[in-house]
Structure 1
Amino acid sequence: MAQPVNEELRDEEDALRPALAPVASISRREAVLAQIRRGIVVGALRPGDKLTELSLAADLQVSRATVREALGQLAQEGLVVAEPYRGLRVADLDAAALRDLARTRVALDLLAARAVLDDTTGRRLGAVRLAWAAFESSAFDDDPVVRHEGHLAFHRAIWSAADNVVLDQLWPVIQAHMTIALAQDQAVRHDPERSHRLHRDLMDALGSGLEVRVETTFREHTIASVDELIALRDPTDQHEKNVRTPA
C-alpha cells in the first residue's frame, strides 16, 4: 500500500532536521544540557516535541540518570515543561505568550537602559560597548548557536550593566523564553544582517544618551520583531489582529 503524501513529506522533513550528537564522557551532565539547548536552537528539538529519557539517552549515548538530571534543570529554566499525562515537552510560546514576553521585555529592558543612561561615569555604557564588540564578532558566524549565544549575551550585558539585583535574578527566566522565541524566529527566517542592524540601532540609541530615542528604539526592536514573527509563523493570527484593530 502506497504511503500517504503527507507522511512522505513529513519523513523528508524529519530527515533534514539536524541530529543530536553523542556527548563526551567528561562533564556528561553539562554536555547533555548543552546538546539539548543546541537542539532547541537549531531545530532538532522543536517547540512542543516530546522528550523521553530513553530516546535522549540513546541519541546522546549517556545514562538515563544523566538525562533525567539535565531535563530537571531545563524544566527549572523553563526550556522544558511537564504536562499532565503527556510527560516532558520542549516549551512553546503561542502568539499571546510571545506578545506577553515582548511587553515584559520592553519594560525590563528600559529599566536597565535608563540605569545605563543615568550613569555619569560612563562605566555602564562602556560595559555595554564591550558586549557589543563581542556581539559583532559572532553576528555572522556560521554556527546558529554561536549567533544565538551572542544575541543573548548582548541583552544580558545591558541588564548586568544596570547593577540591579532583581534584574539579575529575573534574567534566567527571560533567557529561557527568549531562547524559545529565537528558535521560532530562526525556523521562519534566517537573516543575520537584519539581526545585526537591529542590535546596532540599540547600541547607537544608548550611545546617543537620549532617553526618548532609547525608549522608541527598544520598543520597536522587541514589539515589531514579535509582530513580524507572529505574522510569518501564523498569518491568520495577524489578520485577526488587524481586523480587531482598525487603522
Structure 2
Amino acid sequence: MATNEDVTTSTFVPPYNLTFGVFMSSLDRMAGDEALPSVIDRSYLHWMPGTVQSNYLSLFRKTGLIDSNDVPTQLLHDIVYNQDARPIVVERLVREHYAPVLDLGPYATAQQLLDTWRESFGQSGETRRKAIRFFMQAAKFAGITVSKNWERNADKISRQAAPSRPRRSRAPRVPKQASAPESTSRPTETVILAEGAGKLSLGVEIDPLKLTEEDRKFVFGIIDSIHSYREAHPGNEPDVTSRETDSDTD
C-alpha cells in the first residue's frame, strides 16, 4: 500500500461538484466488495456522471485516499471498511485541508468565511457556495465545532455565494376583453296556414358551399314551395319579425 509520502502534494481544491452525501454513499458502495480495486479510476466510478467523477478523483488524490497513480492507500481502506473510524478520518482530513477557515475561530462572521475562502482556495460564486456546503456537512459529521455565525447565517452565505440572477421584465398585462357571444340567430320563414290550423316555421342552418346537387334541389325545393304557398294565400302574411330571424333557444 502507498504511504502518505506517495500522495500528490499539489494545492488542495475543495470539492464543489460533489456532495458530502455522495462521498459517504460511495464508501458504503465500496464496502460492499471484499477488497478495493487495484486503482480507483473512472471505469470503477461508472455510476457517477463524468463531471462528478473528476471532482471525486481530485478529492481522493488531494486528501491522500489514493496516490498519484490512483492506487488506494491505507487511509482509504480504513475509511471504507471501518465505519467507526469514518468520523475520525473525516475529522483529520477536514482539520488538515480546511485549516485556513477553521483558524478563524468560533466567533468568525459569515463574511470572514467568504473572504478567507476566496483568498485561500480561489473559489467564489456558485462554486464557493457548493464547496462551503460540503465543508459544513463534513465538519458536522466529524463533530468539529465551527462558528455559530456560520451555522446561523447558512442561508445568507448561500445567497452571497450564489450569483445574482437578473430579474425578468414582465410584459404589461393586457386586460382580457370579453369575447362577443356567438350569434345564435338563424334565418326563418313562417307561413300562416290558410284554414287557421296554425303556422309552419322553417329555420335554415346550412353551409351553402357544402351542399351537394341533391341537397340543393331538396332545400331550395322546400323554400320555393313556401314562397308558392304564400303567393297563393296573400291574406295569410305573418308578422315581419317572424319572417326575418328566430332566436335559437335550443
Normalising to structure 2: TM-score of the pair?
0.26
Q: Which fold has the larger relative contact order, with Cα–Cα distance below 8 Å and residues 6 or more apart in sequence? A: 1
More helix by share: 1
Structure label with greater radius of gyration: 2
